[in-house]
Every structure is written in structure tokens, then in C-alpha cells.
Structure 1
């Protein structure tokens, strides 16, 4: 398929498919968060043990993304997305049938590995298959899906267990993943870029090349901090809103969290911001906006004000994340796929550390102290772009700056 024909086949339906599949896959990271107390009761384990239903997935998801992102260089983006979705479909069905906690944890690990094949592959697919004037916008849609999954996954599982047994959370997801597999198989064009030959493990050797690019590792500091702050915020928010200051029910808290989706809707428009102001400026602005929203969140004990600051915080994250991915793609050049995979690895390492850090900080200093520490981390990350020299001439600000390095 030649390039003009390929680009013409990337219609809005393809964008919808990639958005939907990104949302539904990454939602699996978060679906067990509202089920922790239920798992503790059903499987007769402690709450700390029950949290491994989420942690086991997260660690496998982070490590697997690094591995499979490299292998997508060898086998192709669409094939890797298809394989991941099919394995995710099977493991999700099996999780709904388990009666032993050990099997739940083992299958959540396998589910995390299967799910990890999708995000780095879909991001590399967007970078390679979309024309330059649509690339950052497409990455914005995918990033929006990743961010919305942190809320949608929790709302979905909470809603299901109000009416059905917890196993139906996974049975319904099984159907959604099966449908998504068909959508990827028949709804998007195949990527036809040249693939390296030789050993299937050869792409893994390219990981070392990331650290030969002096500016690229700095981006990964931002990657880790961004999701440490995001997931740490969600973790702290839950206990903050159930405290005597607000005394909200768990159902009410979910709707407060859902308000954050409003801020996330800006992500698809990040391409226009990058085209006008440059990728570094947009990244820096997003980080500062997120820090402002989170920093002001606890200054007034008013629920409406808290929701507004929450929306400002998630807006900042939604602005920063697509710009960060675009910057990594520019700096990485020929190792773009593994660079984005390492970005995903660092994101979900941050997502795994966020709850642990937040719980520890709440125990020693309280909720407001925790929010301010997370703000401090965001401020540190906002300094990092200043140490990444990047040419962004006026010519590159008129289009997606894929070739500005």
C-alpha cells in the first residue's frame, strides 16, 4: 500500500477504533481498585493482600510494555495489538471463573502482560501511520483514552458490582475485548514499514541506545512523576473525601472523580497547541497547570472548589502527556518505538508507586501534606524541560514538529 493511499484510509472511524481500544485496554489497570474490600471478604484475605489484585497487574503491565514495545519493531504494530487483545480476551474470561485468590493474582499477572502489548504498539502505530499534520492530534486522542481509563475503569466496576457478582466485571470485559479484537483485525490498515530481520530479541538490545541520546532520559523523569502524581492524587482523594471534612459515600466519590474527565477532554486538541506554541512550551504549561490545580486543591474545604481544582489538575496532566509523548518521539528518532515503550514503562512504574507513596504520606502527615508533596514532585518535573534543548523554529510551529530535531 503506498503512502497516499494509506493516509486516505486513516479515516475518523480508525481514530474511533484506536481511541476505544486504548480506553478499554488500559481500564483493566483500574477495575480492581473499587473491589479491594470485596476481594478481601470473598477470598478471606487482608486488605493489604487484596491490593495485589491491582499491583500484580500494574507491575506486569509496566514490565511487559517494555518488552513487547521492542518486539513490535520486529513483528509489526497491528500484529502486536491483535495478539495482545486476543490474549487479553482469554485471560479476562478465565479471571471471572476463579475461586482461589492465588489464581486471581496469577491471572491478573497474565492479564497485565497481555494488556501491555497494546499501548506501546498503538502509540508507535499512530506515529508511523498518520501524516505529520494529524500525528499529535491522534496521540492526543490515545492519551485521552489512557487518562480517562483511570476513571472509567473504576466507575465501570463499581456500577457492575452494585447489581451483579464481581465476576461479571470480567465477563462483560471479555465481550468488550472480543469485539475490540475484531475491530482491530478488520477496521484498521496494516502497517507496512520495514521490519528488522534476525533474532526476535534483537530489538531489546536497542534499549541501551535510549541512554546514548543525552536528552531523552530526562523525559522519563517527567513520565514517572506524572503518573505518580495522578494515581497518588486519586488514592489520596478517596480517603480525603471520606474523612469528617466531607463524609462522602464511595458512590459520591466516584462521581467527584468522574468530574476529572472534563479536564481530560482537552488532550485531542494538544496538536493545535503544539503547532502554535511548540512542544516544550505546551509540556511545561501542562505541568505548571497541574501543579497549580493540585496545590490549591486543599486550601479551601469546599466541595465545589475541590472539584474545580481537580478539573484544573487533570487538564494540566491531559495537556502535558501528549506533548511529552511527542517530545520523546522527536528525540528518539529511529528508536522511537522502544523509546515510547520505555515511557509507558516509567508511567506505570509511577502508577504503581503512587498509591504506596500516598498512603505512607497520609499516615505521617495527613491529606494536605500528601497533596503538597505531590505538587513538589510536579514542580521538579516542570524544571526538567528547561534542560532539554530543542529547536522549534517558526516553521515547525505551523505543523506537528516531528522533524524539528
Structure 2
């Protein structure tokens, strides 16, 4: 589909609506990270068992995102965004009523499927409905929302449980999703997709093409390790700060997490870095910066030092993620939309593994060991771009990546 003309493009408030909805939908991935120890106490299970409340969501979110990214071509971007928010409102409300861990895990998986309808649809909508001169900006805002969600989701659930029962985390959010559904219905114009052609499974055949493009399959190694490290970091940080070294309260941990947002504001400007230095240098630089910040995090038990290294880590992630999308977009060529959907699939497979890996590593060797192993994953990922050949100029590649989204 061709992008809309400037006259038909969404109004400025549509950018705010898409940013807001992207933020609150992806925040659901991270809601339960601060609640793992609480769930372990309430349901009388181990921390590793309670961590499945997060991992079940992420696995469903990853698989659903790949499927719905393809199906949005068939049924329309706005329709899938609406369906996702409507189903999120229902499933999120139901989660607040559970009294057993298996039900919590099952409903979190359904919530993950509902949420997975939104991200691939909103990226495709932004590309198709906004004129070229605004496209980079709106996709930058959406990408920033996805990153900020990793902290905002935790902040929200942490704040609610300070004053209310944990179930209110989901009751309140259910109402927010319902209001956001109304905002999407009336606040953004409809897209021109939604005219099914061919059989139902025909669009899925394109997924196999990504494994035939040279360099593309190994690029997904970075997609997986990036969010394994990010979510593993958040899972470890809360336990580290509340432990004997710092002995911080729930509210104090909340503000330490919030400072990490500072590093994420570099994401909308990543395109300029790519234009100037090239995709691979920015990607490797971001991964290396994230690895350094994460590796140093547990070295010195000083709060100011920990906050600085946390910001270094999140800055590196915010640099690496858009550059990674740029590289995948260039490698994929005419299958960019499917390739970026698979990238998101791998991101949230990593997000699913993050809490499990973090709990295992903490049991095995403690906090410093966990931070170092996760940093080592990022450091090893910096080698991957060296085996990938990019054939176009950085600026062209960046433009393609924005188109792919």
C-alpha cells in the first residue's frame, strides 16, 4: 500500500494516541517483574515458578506478534489495533480475579496474545498513513514508547502495590485499555487494508523467505540477546536493591528504575547517528555500551555508581535497537515487513527467557555473576555484525529500515 498524502494523513493528535497506546500495550510485558517475589509469597511457590507470570505473557506475545504482523495485511491495521485493545481490556480484568498461580499464568498468556495484535499493526500503520517527511518522526516516537514501556510497566505496578492489593494493577489497567480502545476508534483514520486476497495461510509463506537472505538469520541473534539482557537486568536489579547490600524499600527501588528512562531518550535521534556513522558502527557501539554498563553494575556497591551504570546500559540498548531494525530492513529488501515482525518475535522470546535466566543465574552465582553473564551475552553479540555484509550506504539503509517498520 502506498503512504497517504499529506492531506489524508492523520492529525497531530494521532501521534500522541499511537505513542500512548504503544506505551501501555508493551508495558504489560513488564508488569509482573516487580511482583515476582509477591506472587511467590501469595501463591507459596518458588521465585522461578512465579517468574512464569511474566514468561507466559512474553512467549504468547512473541508468537502472536509474528502471526498478527502477517494477518494485519489481510484484515487491516486499525482493525487489529482495536481488536487487541478490546481483548486486552477483558483479559486484564480477568487476571485481577485469580486466586491460583496456574490461572494467573494461563490468563497472562491470553493477555500476551491480545497485546501482540498491536505492535506490528501500529508500525505498519505509521509507515502507510503518514507522509514521508513525518514518517521517521512517528516511528521514532513508537520505538521510544516500546523502550520506555520496559520501565513504565514496572513503575506502574510498583506504585499500585504500594497502596492497593496487587489485583488493582490489572483492574485499573483494564479501564485504561478500554479508554484507549475508544481513542483508537475515534482518534485515528482507518487504513485501506482489510481486503483479503488468496487463502488464509498464503501470507504466512513469506516468513520462510527471511531464512534465504544472506546475513539475515544470524542478525536475529542480536534480537534475542538484547531483550534477554534487558529483562534479565530488570529482574535482577529489584532483587539486588532489596537485598542486604542496599536494603532498599519498594518505593526507593521504584525511583532507581525510573532514572533509566533518561538513557532511552536517545532512541528518536538514532537515525542521525546511523546517517553519520553507519548502521554497524552504531549497532556495535550501542551493544558495547550496554555491555559495559551492565558488566560494571554490580562491581561497586555504591548507589550513585549503580544509577550511572544503569543509565549507560539503557542508553546502549536505546542506541542498538533502532540500528538493529535498520540492519534487518536493509538485509530483508522486499520482505522487510515480515523480517521486522520476526525481529519482534525474537525480541520477546528474549524477554520471555530473561526472568528465567536471571533467577537461575542468581541462584547459581549471585548478583555480580548474573550481571556479568548478561553483559557477556551483549559483548558476544557485538561480533555478529562483523559477519554481515551490507551493500548500501548508511543513509539509504536507514531509510529502508524506516520503510520496513
Per-residue deviation, residues 85-135 of structure 1 (Å, max 9, x unmatched): 111111112222334443332222211110011112222223333444444
Per mean C-alpha deviation after superposition, the further-off stretch among 189-198 and 91-100 is: 189-198
CA–CA separation in structure 2 for the residues paired with 1:176 and 1:124 = 23
Partner of 1:54: 54
CA–CA separation in structure 1 for the residues paired with 2:91 and 2:317 = 31
Partner of 1:292: 292
Per mean C-alpha deviation after superposition, the further-off stretch among 106-115 and 27-36 is: 27-36
- Structure 1 residues 154 and 403, CA gap change in structure 2 (3 angstroms): closer
Q: Trace 1:113-192 onto structure 2 (pairs within 5 A).
A: 113-192=113-192
Partner of 1:66: 66
- Structure 1 residues 199 and 404, CA gap change in structure 2 (3 angstroms): closer
CA–CA separation in structure 2 for the residues paired with 1:352 and 1:395 = 33
Q: CA deviation at 1:285?
A: 2.0
CA–CA separation in structure 2 for the residues paired with 1:44 and 1:229 = 28
Contact in 2 for aligned 1:391/1:404 (Cα 8 Å): no
- Structure 1 residues 6 and 90, CA gap change in structure 2 (3 angstroms): farther
- Structure 1 residues 138 and 154, CA gap change in structure 2 (3 angstroms): same
CA–CA separation in structure 2 for the residues paired with 1:326 and 1:341 = 13
Partner of 1:261: 261
Q: Trace 1:101-112 onto structure 2 (pairs within 5 A).
A: 101-112=101-112
Contact in 1 for aligned 2:10/2:188 (Cα 8 Å): yes
Per mean C-alpha deviation after superposition, the further-off stretch among 80-89 and 162-171 is: 162-171
Contact in 2 for aligned 1:123/1:139 (Cα 8 Å): yes
CA–CA separation in structure 1 for the residues paired with 2:36 and 2:355 = 13
CA–CA separation in structure 2 for the residues paired with 1:37 and 1:363 = 14
Q: CA deviation at 1:208?
A: 0.6
- TM-score when scaled to structure 1? 0.91
Contact in 2 for aligned 1:279/1:323 (Cα 8 Å): yes
CA–CA separation in structure 2 for the residues paired with 1:270 and 1:10 = 24
Instruction: Tell me the secondary structure at the aligned position of residue 199 of structure 1.
Output: coil
Contact in 1 for aligned 2:6/2:131 (Cα 8 Å): no
Give 5+ residue unaligned stretches, structure 2.
none
Instruction: Tell me the secondary structure at the aligned position of residue 220 of structure 1.
Output: helix
- Structure 1 residues 2 and 155, CA gap change in structure 2 (3 angstroms): closer
Contact in 2 for aligned 1:77/1:191 (Cα 8 Å): yes
Partner of 2:97: 97
CA–CA separation in structure 2 for the residues paired with 1:368 and 1:182 = 46
CA–CA separation in structure 1 for the residues paired with 2:132 and 2:347 = 25
Partner of 2:202: 202
Partner of 2:240: 240
Instruction: Please tell me whether residue 363 in structure 1 is matched to residue 329 in structure 2.
Output: no
Per-residue deviation, residues 220-249 of structure 1 (Å, max 9, x unmatched): 111001001111111222222233332222
Instruction: Please tell me whether residue 317 in structure 1 is matched to residue 344 in structure 2.
Output: no
Contact in 2 for aligned 1:275/1:401 (Cα 8 Å): no
Partner of 2:399: 400
Partner of 2:219: 219
CA–CA separation in structure 2 for the residues paired with 1:177 and 1:108 = 15
Q: CA deviation at 1:137?
A: 3.5
Per mean C-alpha deviation after superposition, the further-off stretch among 128-137 and 72-81 is: 128-137
Contact in 2 for aligned 1:289/1:312 (Cα 8 Å): yes
CA–CA separation in structure 1 for the residues paired with 2:174 and 2:218 = 38
> Which consecutive segments of 4 or more residues in structure 1 shift more than 6 A?
none
Q: CA deviation at 1:250?
A: 2.7
CA–CA separation in structure 1 for the residues paired with 2:159 and 2:395 = 49
Instruction: Tell me the secondary structure at the aligned position of residue 246 of structure 1.
Output: coil
- Structure 1 residues 132 and 376, CA gap change in structure 2 (3 angstroms): farther
CA–CA separation in structure 2 for the residues paired with 1:328 and 1:195 = 28
Give 5+ residue unaligned stretches, structure 1.
none
Per mean C-alpha deviation after superposition, the further-off stretch among 222-231 and 246-255 is: 246-255
CA–CA separation in structure 1 for the residues paired with 2:238 and 2:395 = 46
CA–CA separation in structure 2 for the residues paired with 1:215 and 1:174 = 41
Contact in 1 for aligned 2:40/2:50 (Cα 8 Å): yes
Partner of 1:345: 345
Number of positions where the alignment pairs a residue of Structure 1 with one of Structure 2 = 404
Per-residue deviation, residues 172-191 of structure 1 (Å, max 9, x unmatched): 11111111112222222333
Contact in 2 for aligned 1:6/1:189 (Cα 8 Å): no
Per mean C-alpha deviation after superposition, the further-off stretch among 356-365 and 4-13 is: 4-13
